[in-house]
């Protein structure tokens, strides 16, 4: 098989970032979904702002952990919608990020990959405590060989430093890695880096109009098995 490893993005790909909506809705009736969406958008915006502004400073001048960014993004989203939560409520919402729901098909797909002898990994902006909590909560400890956090290099995706973690830890060339993400921008960055890519287009969105279209795509993680059969 030409593909030696399947590397997954975490948030939106393996774990549903919008599973926080129910708890937000309980605290902010009628606004939970909108707050969750803005929270996610602002979280990504802050990571990109840091990466761009830090590009000439070795990732050390403005870098903050993804957990710190996540907290600040929630603070912004709540302010934007005029919501004031107490400390217990805020902590309750933040705790969801350590126990996000996994998508229903994930376990079956990960088991199939292990049976094929394919190395599996997560490569995420999330810092180690966030990722380890999500993996453990979903029961994926024995199904994921490597949990890689950009916190190690202090550069968020889509920088080459971030994607380069896969080669550093596993030793495979980019062409031997299938990178799987539900985020179109992430798939494009990974493809530019040299990975084979598969876009999990859960929302039925159009492909990014910048750069090449994803090499493979499907509505959920089950498409990964079909891609590996195609590339065998």
In this structure, the chain runs to a length of 232
C-beta separation of 170 from 146 below 8 A = yes
Alpha carbons 199 and 186: distance in angstroms, whole number: 9
Give 65's contacts (C-beta < 8 A, 6+ positions apart).
Answer: 127, 151
Catalytic residues: 9
Phi/psi of residue 123, nearest 5 degrees = -130, 110
Pull the structure tokens for residue 117: 């002898």
Angle, CA 192 vertex, CA 201 and CA 216 arms, to 5°:
35
Whether the Cβ atoms of residue 135 and residue 144 lie closer than 8 Å to each other: yes
């Amino acid at each position: 098989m030409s593909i030696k490893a399947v590397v997954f993005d975490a948030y939106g790909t393996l774990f549903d970032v919008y599973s926080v909506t129910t708890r937000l809705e309980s605290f902010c009736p009628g606004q939970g979904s909108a707050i969750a969406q803005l929270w996610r958008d602002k979280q990504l915006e802050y990571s990109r702002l840091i990466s761009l502004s830090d590009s000439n400073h070795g990732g050390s001048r403005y870098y903050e952990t993804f957990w710190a960014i996540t907290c600040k993004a929630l603070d912004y989203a709540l302010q934007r919608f005029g919501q004031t939560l107490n400390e217990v409520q805020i902590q309750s919402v933040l705790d969801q990020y350590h126990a996000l729901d996994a998508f229903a098909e994930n376990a079956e797909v990960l088991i199939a990959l292990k049976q094929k002898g394919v190395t599996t990994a997560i490569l995420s902006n999330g810092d180690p405590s966030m990722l380890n909590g999500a993996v453990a909560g979903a029961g994926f400890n024995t199904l994921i060989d490597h949990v890689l956090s950009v916190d190690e290099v202090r550069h968020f995706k889509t920088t080459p430093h971030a994607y380069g973690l896969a080669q550093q830890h596993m030793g495979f060339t980019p062409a031997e890695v299938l990178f799987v993400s539900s985020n179109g921008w992430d798939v494009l960055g990974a493809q530019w880096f040299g990975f084979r890519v598969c876009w999990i287009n859960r929302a039925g969105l159009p492909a990014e109009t910048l750069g090449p279209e994803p090499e493979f795509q499907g509505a959920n993680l089950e498409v990964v098995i079909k891609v590996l059969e195609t590339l065998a």
